[in-house]
Structure 1
Amino acid sequence: MELDAFFFAMAIPAVLFAGVSKGGFGSGASFAATPFLALILGPGEALGLMLPLLMLMDMGALRPFWKQWHWPSARALLIGSVPGVVLGVALWKVANPDVFRLLIGVIALGFVGWQVAQKRGWIRPAKRKMRPLAGYIAGATAGFTSFISHAGGPPAAVYLLSQRLSKTEFQATTVLLFWILNWLKFVPFAFLGIFTRETFTANLFLAPVAFAGVWLGVWAHRAISERWFFGVTYIFLTLAGAKLIWDALT
């Protein structure tokens, strides 16, 4: 990783975009920064660069929602996330970078497909509350996809939407879940060597951008259409995901 003008020209918009999503649009699209960075960095570098920044953003988002979460739902997802993270660690030890490019690309396209299906009514929340077992399964999926590409939002949302939470409870539970899950990932990331001196140095430069993105997201929540924001996100993720899959297979 070279911290040159090209790197910052790519990294600053990606981190800013993640902050905007965290601060104003439920954080659902914040993982889009990882596929974007994976176009110019190795998968490990992209993951290692983004995790501390996402944790900073979580800290900014946690205070407004403190103790407003639905703990039973968060607990089920967190219990399930542990084996998901363990599976991610096991795969990391044996797979080469192209496998992770492929997985990040597939997850990016899967996210777009899931969102489109939800908007069109092809996927609807369960009519009855899902049982804790479903929460464990959703948590395991979220833990794995979060470890691979910081993209645990959709599996967690499937379960949380079935719990008929209020808007505030849903957002607060999501914030709590990924605040703890990101700490859970931090330890194996460190032992696997995903964090490097270069990612740490880059984090120092990009931390103000992360906070600025969260602040901008609060403003954008009132000033920018959610439909426009996510429309741009879906187009970008489709292109980035397809490019990563192409690179991995060729």
Structure 2
Amino acid sequence: MITDPFFYLCAIPAILLYGMAKGGFGGGIAVISVPLMTLAISPVTAAAILLPILVAMDFVAIWSFRGQWSRINIKYTLPGAIAGIVVGAFTFRYLSEDAIRIMIGLISVAFCLDYWFKRKSTVKREPNALRGTFWGSIAGFTSFGIHAGGPPISVYMLPQQLEKTLLMGTFAVFFTVVNLVKVIPYAWLGQFDHSNLMTSLVLIPLAPIGVRLGFYCLHKVSEQLIYRLCYFFLMVVGVKLLWEGVGNLVVAGG
């Protein structure tokens, strides 16, 4: 297992933040976790270590939001998400992490700017099979690479203005299935070596702590503030990913 103290200095807050996001407190912050861990290890290793921990978090989130999820949205988004994972698995060796960062960043920033600056509509968007399949597939694809499915699925879900526990419960069910499906291609690609699995095992006790902390905060904070936090963190993460992706490509090109 990894013994570098600096790795744990990065990994512990990254996992707690991801857990809080799964518990409902500012879903966009989850995307920060892999980049934070990559300060100490490679993105591929970070994603492999994080996946078993995410599965543990998902089960805690499912239990926390039991019975509170939108069945129609799960029906519309999961087929596309699974297709996105399959595409990600077969193109894994050819993927540019920086290109994925730029794609997610553009989607996130454009979505937030549209939300903040367009004339606000009081009409809620209804679940839609075409939009759900499209954004679900993007979420599955980006989730496979760097566990960054949150922004794309938020683009589909947030305009529906669901009650906060229903929104977070739907996210919980969606990502439980997505992460369980991802285990198969991750194992096929050989990402679960002994070192990665042992490191995951050491860190996995943090999973329920982070989720329950986020769940506690969700029920102590107003629904309006939760949505503001989601959009705010979505914007911060989008700018960060754009900066990193473009910067790395410029350096590589130079």
* TM-score using structure 2 length: 0.81
Alignment of 1:201 with 2:198, yes or no, is yes
Give the Cα–Cα distance (whole angstroms) in 1 for the partners of residues 140 and 2 of structure 2.
Answer: 30
Give the Cα–Cα distance (whole angstroms) in 2 for the partners of residues 68 and 176 of structure 1.
Answer: 9
Q: State the shift of 1:12 in Å.
A: 1.2
Give the Cα–Cα distance (whole angstroms) in 1 for the partners of residues 187 and 120 of structure 2.
Answer: 37
1:66-145 correspondence to structure 2 within 5 Å: 66-95=66-95, 99-104=96-101, 106-108=103-105, 110-121=107-118, 128-145=125-142
Give the Cα–Cα distance (whole angstroms) in 1 for the partners of residues 182 and 208 of structure 2.
Answer: 21
Give the secondary structure class of the aligned counterpart of 2:191.
coil
Taking a change above 3 Å as real, the CA distance of residues 195 and 209 of structure 1, as seen in their structure-2 partners, is: same
Gaps of 5+ in 2: none
Give the Cα–Cα distance (whole angstroms) in 2 for the partners of residues 101 and 147 of structure 1.
Answer: 14
Cα pair 2:57 2:207 within 8 Å, conserved: yes
Alignment of 1:173 with 2:170, yes or no, is yes
Q: State the shift of 1:188 in Å.
A: 0.5
Give the secondary structure class of the aligned counterpart of 2:138.
helix
Taking a change above 3 Å as real, the CA distance of residues 161 and 14 of structure 1, as seen in their structure-2 partners, is: closer
Moved more, 108-117 or 193-202: 108-117
Give the secondary structure class of the aligned counterpart of 2:137.
helix
Identity, % of aligned pairs?
A: 32
Q: State the shift of 1:11 in Å.
A: 1.1
Aligned residues: 247
Cα pair 1:39 1:240 within 8 Å, conserved: no
Gaps of 5+ in 1: none
Please tell me the root mean square deviation across aligned C-alpha atoms, in Å.
Answer: 3.1
1:153-168 correspondence to structure 2 within 5 Å: 153-163=150-160, 165-168=162-165
Give the secondary structure class of the aligned counterpart of 1:28.
helix
Counterpart AA for 1:167: K
Deviations 1:84-131 (A, max 9, x none): 111111220334xxx114423552564355335434447979755253
Alignment of 1:23 with 2:23, yes or no, is yes
Cα pair 2:104 2:152 within 8 Å, conserved: no
Moved more, 47-56 or 124-133: 124-133
Give the Cα–Cα distance (whole angstroms) in 2 for the partners of residues 40 and 72 of structure 1.
Answer: 40
Give the Cα–Cα distance (whole angstroms) in 2 for the partners of residues 163 and 70 of structure 1.
Answer: 11
Moved more, 179-188 or 236-245: 236-245
Q: State the shift of 1:39 in Å.
A: 3.5
Q: State the shift of 1:187 in Å.
A: 0.5
Cα pair 2:80 2:137 within 8 Å, conserved: yes
Give the Cα–Cα distance (whole angstroms) in 2 for the partners of residues 199 and 108 of structure 1.
Answer: 28
Alignment of 1:247 with 2:244, yes or no, is no
* TM-score using structure 1 length: 0.82
Decide which of 185, 192, 215 is 2:189's aligned counterpart.
Answer: 192
1:24-63 correspondence to structure 2 within 5 Å: 24-25=24-25, 27-63=27-63
Deviations 1:169-227 (A, max 9, x none): 22221110111111111110110122222221111221122222223323444379756
Give the Cα–Cα distance (whole angstroms) in 2 for the partners of residues 173 and 239 of structure 1.
Answer: 26
Q: State the shift of 1:146 in Å.
A: 1.1
Give the Cα–Cα distance (whole angstroms) in 1 for the partners of residues 94 and 66 of structure 2.
Answer: 39
